[in-house]
């Protein structure tokens, strides 16, 4: 059993949120660590600032030297426990049907105020041919099913017992690495595309780099050359285009369907492709499911989940469904232990959840138990008030979005799992929709996850869940090629963000 976490510290004083938008911080982090720190830690005192600054500079140097290694920057960690109220109920109050779509997620008919996008017609070896050869994309099995239905994958029939009947057809068995295909199909149908490159403020490169490199990541004998082949081919092609040099690549963007670290190899013998490190990529904006938080040009976009609504109505119905769901467990954990890793945090949470079986529901995903069409994960998230989200093999996991789409409140242990990743898609105040618990307190037994979560009142839980539900549209990739009628989904939010960013970059002196 776990003792109570440090009861003398006031929760209010632990709640701090960055005041500056992440973009500015990123930009400053390239130019002036001091400005970054001043913005981020306004209360820090002078001698500590100096010490901190020198440490920061050393970090920057290390970072530049070892850019291929995911590095963790040890912020002071805060958690956001609820103010004192001790009781909570697991049964939400039923609410009447109301559309809870925030103003920002609703499309407003405009005339593309941030400009138009030109989509390159790349050699098909860089996109369509890869999909056509779906049998050869991974060393063990065919990817053809995963890439079927325009990249959404097979319809998830196994899930129909868990979701409302008329929404079952909107659920797919979607692979997590398909954003390159999803974005390409959608962007060709976007209302702000132009056929005239002279009129474009943004250029999209529909290159399926993640699909191209996928199999080489796992083949022990693959050469650095093989892993860079498609990327080099793309760069050569794109750099020959007159519009690339016009703005040194600053107005170009692409989707990379895997995590950033798969494209940041520094030495030939290391992991991954070196695509992001190639010279021509320097100024190109990249949409990734996991970004490097220290690279301005990396933008985090949501992992694709299984729900792909056909209409606004699907979205609103789903929001109502998860809002009114009776949740039987306080929290849950779906994942696999990594027994080979010593002190694996996931194993710890797994055991913790097992030990608290009255309030925690555990789903064992060892092997491929959770990827065979089962509805058990979705059902578990639908039945739980909170879901535990440790880092996965990298900092992010698709499960965060699976959890939130089910209206469950995420409990995070690393800032880089969500807060430093999906700025355009998540509320700016972490404590408004999630719980952060210091992982070291869990490790050394000073924090009991159950007790931290039990401190949230019914009212606070309802408010947080409502926030999660309000943001659900931004985590979805809608099924129609034109998107939804009025609701903006993850794709719309990403494209708006890129266009707004490119507009901002046009300011004099912005580019570096």
Ligand X SMILES: *[C@@H]1O[C@H](CO)[C@@H](O)[C@H](O)[C@H]1NC(C)=O
Using CB under 6 A as the criterion, which residues of the chain lie in contact with ligand X when the complex forms?
A: 158, 194-196, 199, 219, 221, 248-249, 279-280, 282-283, 348, 351-352, 355, 369, 372-374, 438, 440-441, 444, 446, 511
With beta carbons less than 8 A apart as the criterion, state whether 360 and 389 touch.
no
- Around Cβ 128, how many Cβ atoms within 10 Å? 15
Closest residue by beta carbon to ligand X: 440
CB of 287 to ligand X, least distance (A): 19
196 vs 240, beta carbon nearer ligand X: 196
CB of 383 to ligand X, least distance (A): 17
Tokens of 423: 């700025």
Match 């049907």 to its residue by tokens. Answer: 97
Could you say which DSSP state residue 484 is in?
Answer: -
With beta carbons less than 8 A apart as the criterion, state whether 212 and 232 touch.
no
CB of 226 to ligand X, least distance (A): 7
19 vs 443, beta carbon nearer ligand X: 443
216 vs 386, beta carbon nearer ligand X: 216
**Three-class DSSP labels, 159-208:** HCCCCCHHHHHHEECCCCCCHHHHHHHHHHCCCCECCCHHHEEEEEECCC
196 vs 269, beta carbon nearer ligand X: 196
CB of 229 to ligand X, least distance (A): 12
CA distances to 18, 149, 402 from 155, rounded to whole Å, are 41, 9, 16
CA angle 204, 210, 213 (to 5 degrees): 130
103 vs 279, beta carbon nearer ligand X: 279
Integer Cα distance of 77 and 275 in angstroms: 33
Residues 6+ apart with CB under 8 A from 390: 335, 345, 346, 349, 413, 414, 417, 439
With beta carbons less than 8 A apart as the criterion, state whether 421 and 291 touch.
yes
Tokens of 208: 């399926």
Integer Cα distance of 260 and 416 in angstroms: 13
CB of 443 to ligand X, least distance (A): 7
Q: Which residues pair with 286 in a beta bridge?
A: 254, 298
42 vs 373, beta carbon nearer ligand X: 373
47 vs 140, beta carbon nearer ligand X: 140
104 vs 157, beta carbon nearer ligand X: 157
CB of 442 to ligand X, least distance (A): 9
CB of 93 to ligand X, least distance (A): 33
Residues shown for the chain: 512
193 vs 457, beta carbon nearer ligand X: 193
CB of 369 to ligand X, least distance (A): 5
CB of 282 to ligand X, least distance (A): 4
């Amino acid at each position: 059993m776990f003792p109570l976490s440090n009861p003398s510290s006031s929760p209010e004083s632990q709640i701090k949120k960055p005041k500056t938008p992440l973009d500015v911080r990123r930009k400053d982090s390239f130019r002036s660590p001091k400005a970054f720190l001043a913005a981020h830690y306004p209360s820090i005192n002078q001698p500590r600032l100096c010490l901190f600054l020198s440490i920061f500079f050393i970090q920057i140097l290390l970072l530049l030297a070892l850019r291929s290694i995911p590095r963790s920057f040890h912020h002071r960690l805060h958690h956001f426990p609820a103010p004192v109220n001790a009781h909570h109920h697991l049964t939400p109050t039923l609410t009447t049907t109301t559309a809870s779509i925030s103003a920002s997620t609703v499309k407003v008919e405009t005339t593309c105020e941030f400009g138009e996008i030109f989509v390159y017609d790349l050699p098909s070896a860089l996109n369509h041919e890869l999909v056509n050869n779906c049998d050869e994309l991974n060393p063990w099995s065919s990817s053809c099913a995963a890439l079927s239905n325009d990249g959404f994958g097979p319809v998830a029939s196994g899930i129909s017992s868990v979701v409302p009947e008329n929404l079952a057809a909107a659920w797919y068995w979607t692979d997590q690495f398909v954003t390159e295909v999803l974005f390409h199909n959608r962007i060709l149908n976007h209302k702000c595309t132009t056929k005239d490159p002279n009129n474009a403020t943004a250029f999209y490169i529909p290159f399926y780099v993640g699909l191209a490199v996928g199999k080489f990541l796992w083949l022990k004998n693959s050469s650095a050359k093989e892993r860079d082949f498609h990327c080099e081919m793309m760069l050569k092609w794109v750099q020959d285009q007159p519009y690339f040099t016009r703005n040194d690549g600053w107005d170009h963007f692409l989707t990379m369907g895997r995590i950033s670290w798969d494209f940041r190899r520094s030495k030939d013998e290391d992991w991954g492709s070196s695509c992001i490190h190639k010279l021509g990529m320097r100024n190109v904006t990249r949409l990734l499911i996991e970004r490097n938080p220290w690279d301005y040009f990396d933008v985090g976009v949501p992992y694709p989940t299984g729900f792909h609504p056909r209409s606004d109505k699907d979205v609103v119905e789903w929001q109502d469904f998860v809002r009114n769901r009776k949740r039987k467990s306080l929290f849950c954990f779906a994942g696999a232990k990594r027994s080979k890793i010593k002190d694996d945090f996931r194993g710890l949470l797994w055991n913790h959840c097992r030990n608290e079986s009255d309030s925690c529901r555990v789903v064992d995903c060892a092997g491929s138990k959770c990827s065979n069409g089962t509805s058990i994960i979705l059902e578990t998230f639908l039945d739980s008030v909170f879901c535990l989200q440790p880092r996965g093999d990298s900092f992010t996991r698709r499960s965060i979005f699976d959890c939130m789409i089910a209206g469950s409140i995420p409990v995070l242990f690393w800032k880089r799992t969500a807060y430093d990743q999906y700025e355009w898609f998540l509320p700016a105040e972490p404590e408004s929709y999630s719980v952060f618990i210091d992982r070291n307190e869990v490790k050394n037994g000073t924090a009991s996850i159950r007790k931290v979560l039990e401190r949230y009142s019914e009212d606070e839980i309802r408010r947080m869940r409502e926030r999660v539900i309000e943001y659900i549209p931004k985590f979805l990739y809608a099924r129609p090629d034109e998107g939804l009628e009025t609701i903006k989904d993850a794709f719309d939010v990403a494209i708006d963000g890129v266009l707004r960013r490119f507009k901002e970059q046009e300011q004099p002196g912005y580019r570096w």
